[in-house]
């Protein structure tokens, strides 16, 4: 059983190795070159040998047939055959013709038989069939005016028939075909093709030797080509392996093929992107560590100060505890925002789409934020152009509005203002927040939605910002397929506009369809109950 398992494992491993080999580009190039080279080579050898045999047989048949036609004319001119099939002795002429027949038979290592109209053998160069009757398909067809030539490669001979025509009669009929009445006899000839076979064998051996030489050359060419053509890809692999241990600013270059250039360009772009992501990750970790550490440090300092003092007045104790509570709230806010971002970083983020009155939601959010605005003496104005009802995620829409309005209040001037505008048409609705705040420098606009990015870190920490609000807004806007635009001028204020367009409309249609299906299913279940 153990031995069987080993054998089976070895067999499976061999199959896997063969499959892996075929998946190799080098192996495929090698096999393709080998096939392309060897198949024509083998086909050419067989074609040359076969064509030689056909041409040699055809040429030999033509030569012999011409000689037989000359002999046939001699037979007629010397009255070798009588018109009634009776032999007429012509003395020396007959002996001459017989000698010619014997010479022809010996020359081609064959046999010649003269057959008269009664199908009797008048002459047989082998001397064994004279006087016998031979009725064969070839002879009959020859008497009917058809010449027959047949090659038998298995037994190694060529058989042909030649009519003996009376030249004094009409040799052709009115249709231009051979006249059977003018045929006085038939020459049935069989000749050997040993010379052709011998020449074919010699040619085959030479062709085989040439084929072996070409096979070796093609094999060497296949090996060279497979290595040469895959060498650039090996260099790409080596270059990638050289940088896989860590990201560097150096790009790789393998300009051998257009394909390798495209691969390298794509890899360099990926490397650049991965480096940017790694830098962003490191910066994010550093920012998170700093942001979480700062409140904890403050709490530690405040608590140590309380513990170091004896008989702390109640007013001072209360002040310290308020500061500790504030830092705890800040820490909690940072953690809450981080958790929100982590959830949003998932590729698949479910949206809990509901039909929502945006006007009512805006009023509710502004009601919650107005106490904060009153502390800074900031006036909050809400302008609703028309009622808006949309299919959105209520929680995430609340985060968008809250963050935008809260930022506008926090980063505003004393005695400033915040204006919220809600508008809509048949294609989209917009939520716009503008303020009279400190504004954002032009160079910071491109980074303002990045995580933990602050224009003035010290001022942001004073007012309690985490640097995550706009990053959260950006994520939610992208999830809804909406558009975020930001305009700002330092010292004059900021305007942020969120436009929910056709992407949301498509989502609304899909949601409505799903609700209809659910409603229909519930109705069916209710009717069945």
- 108 and 144 fall within a common domain: yes
The model's confidence at residue 420, banded by pLDDT at 50, 70 and 90, is very high
Secondary structure percentages of the chain, helix, strand, coil, to 5: 60, 15, 25
Alpha-carbon gap, residue 119 to 135, rounded angstroms: 6
| Mean pLDDT, residues 223-238 | 78
Q: Which of these, 132, 131, 148, 144, lies nearest to 189 by C-alpha position?
A: 148
Q: What is the pLDDT of residue 215?
A: 82
Q: What are the strands of the beta sheet with 493-500, ordered from one edge?
A: 379-384, 417-424, 429-435, 493-500, 483-489
Checking if the pLDDT of 235 tops 80, the result is: no
Identify the residue with better confidence: 248 or 346: 248
The model's confidence at residue 332, banded by pLDDT at 50, 70 and 90, is confident
Q: What is the pLDDT of residue 85?
A: 39
Query: 3-class secondary structure for 95-131?
Result: HHHHHHHHHHHHHCCCEEEEEECCCEEEEECCCCCCC
pLDDT in tens, 258-311: 777 777 788 788 777 777 767 666 766 665 665 566 667 767 777 777 777 777
pLDDT in tens, 84-108: 433 444 456 778 888 888 888 888 8
Q: What is the CATH number of the domain that holds 505?
A: 3.30.565.10
Q: What is the pLDDT of residue 5?
A: 61
Q: What is the CATH number of the domain that holds 287?
A: 1.10.287.130
Q: Which of these, 163, 138, 162, lies nearest to 152 by C-alpha position?
A: 138
Checking if the pLDDT of 20 tops 60, the result is: no
Q: What is the pLDDT of residue 435?
A: 92
Range of the domain at 173: 76-198
| Mean pLDDT, residues 501-529 | 51
| Mean pLDDT, residues 48-53 | 79
Around Cβ 230, how many Cβ atoms within 10 Å? 17
Q: pTM for the full model?
A: 0.42
Alpha-carbon gap, residue 48 to 205, rounded angstroms: 12
Share of the chain above pLDDT 90, in %: 3
- 357 and 491 fall within a common domain: yes
- 359 and 485 fall within a common domain: yes
In 379-501, alpha helices (H): 394-410, 457-462, 469-479
Tell me how far the alpha carbon of residue 400 is from its chain's centroid.
43
- 156 and 284 fall within a common domain: no
Identify whether the C-beta of residue 178 lies closer than 8 Å to the C-beta of residue 171: yes
Q: Give, in degrees to the nearest 5, the angle at Cα 465 between 447 and 365.
A: 100
Q: What is the pLDDT of residue 19?
A: 47
Is 368 part of any domain?
Answer: yes
The model's confidence at residue 447, banded by pLDDT at 50, 70 and 90, is low
Buried b (16+ CB within 10 A) or exposed e, 244-257: eeeeeeeebebeee
């Amino acid at each position: 059983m153990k031995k069987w398992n080993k054998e089976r494992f070895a067999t499976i491993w061999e199959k896997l190795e063969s499959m892996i080999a075929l998946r190799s580009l080098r192996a495929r190039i090698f096999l393709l070159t080998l096939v392309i080279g060897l198949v024509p080579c083998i086909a050419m050898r067989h074609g040359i040998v076969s064509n030689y045999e056909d041409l040699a047989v055809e040429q030999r048949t033509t030569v012999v047939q011409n000689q037989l036609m000359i002999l046939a004319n001699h037979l007629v001119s010397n009255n070798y055959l009588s018109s009634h099939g009776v032999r007429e002795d012509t003395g020396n002429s007959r002996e001459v013709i017989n000698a010619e027949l014997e010479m022809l038979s010996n020359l081609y290592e064959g046999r010649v038989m003269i057959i008269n109209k009664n199908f009797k053998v008048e002459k047989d160069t082998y001397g064994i069939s004279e006087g016998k009757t031979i009725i064969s398909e070839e002879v009959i067809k020859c008497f009917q005016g058809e010449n027959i030539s047949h090659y038998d490669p298995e037994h190694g001979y060529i058989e042909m028939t030649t009519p003996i025509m009376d030249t004094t009669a009409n040799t052709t009929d009115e249709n231009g075909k051979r006249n059977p009445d003018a045929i006085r006899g038939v020459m049935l000839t069989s000749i050997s093709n040993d010379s052709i076979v011998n020449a074919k064998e010699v040619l085959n051996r030479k062709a085989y030797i040439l084929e072996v030489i070409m096979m070796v050359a093609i094999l060497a060419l296949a090996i060279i080509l497979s290595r040469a053509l895959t060498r650039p890809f090996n260099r790409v692999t080596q270059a990638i392996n050289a940088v896989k241990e860590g990201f560097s600013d150096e790009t790789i270059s393998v300009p051998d093929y257009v394909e390798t250039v495209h691969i390298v360009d794509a890899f360099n772009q990926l490397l650049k992107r991965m480096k940017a992501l790694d830098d962003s990750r490191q910066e994010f970790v550093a920012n998170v560590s700093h942001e979480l550490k700062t409140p904890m440090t403050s709490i530690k300092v405040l608590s140590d100060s309380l513990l170091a003092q004896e008989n702390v007045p109640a007013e001072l104790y209360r002040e310290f505890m308020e500061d500790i509570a504030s830092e705890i709230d800040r820490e909690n806010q940072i953690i809450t925002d981080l958790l929100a971002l982590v959830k949003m970083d998932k590729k698949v983020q479910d949206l809990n789409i509901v039909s929502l009155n945006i006007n009512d939601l805006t009023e509710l959010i502004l009601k919650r934020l107005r106490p904060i605005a009153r502390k800074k003496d900031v006036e909050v104005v809400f302008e609703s152009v028309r009622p808006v009802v949309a299919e959105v995620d209520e929680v995430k829409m609340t985060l968008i509005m809250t963050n935008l309005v809260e930022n506008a209040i926090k980063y505003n001037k004393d005695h400033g203002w915040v204006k919220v505008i809600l508008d809509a048409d048949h294609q989209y609705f917009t939520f716009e927040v503008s303020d009279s705040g400190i504004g954002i420098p032009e160079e910071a606009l491109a980074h303002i939605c990045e995580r933990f990015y602050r224009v003035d870190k010290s001022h942001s920490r004073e007012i309690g910002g985490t640097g995550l609000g706009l990053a959260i807004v950006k994520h939610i806007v992208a999830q809804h397929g909406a558009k975020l635009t930001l305009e700002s001028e330092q010292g004059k204020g900021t305007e942020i506009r969120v436009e929910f367009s056709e992407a949301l409309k498509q989502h609304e249609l899909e949601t409505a369809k799903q609700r209809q299906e659910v409603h229909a299913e519930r109705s069916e279940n209710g009717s069945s109950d």
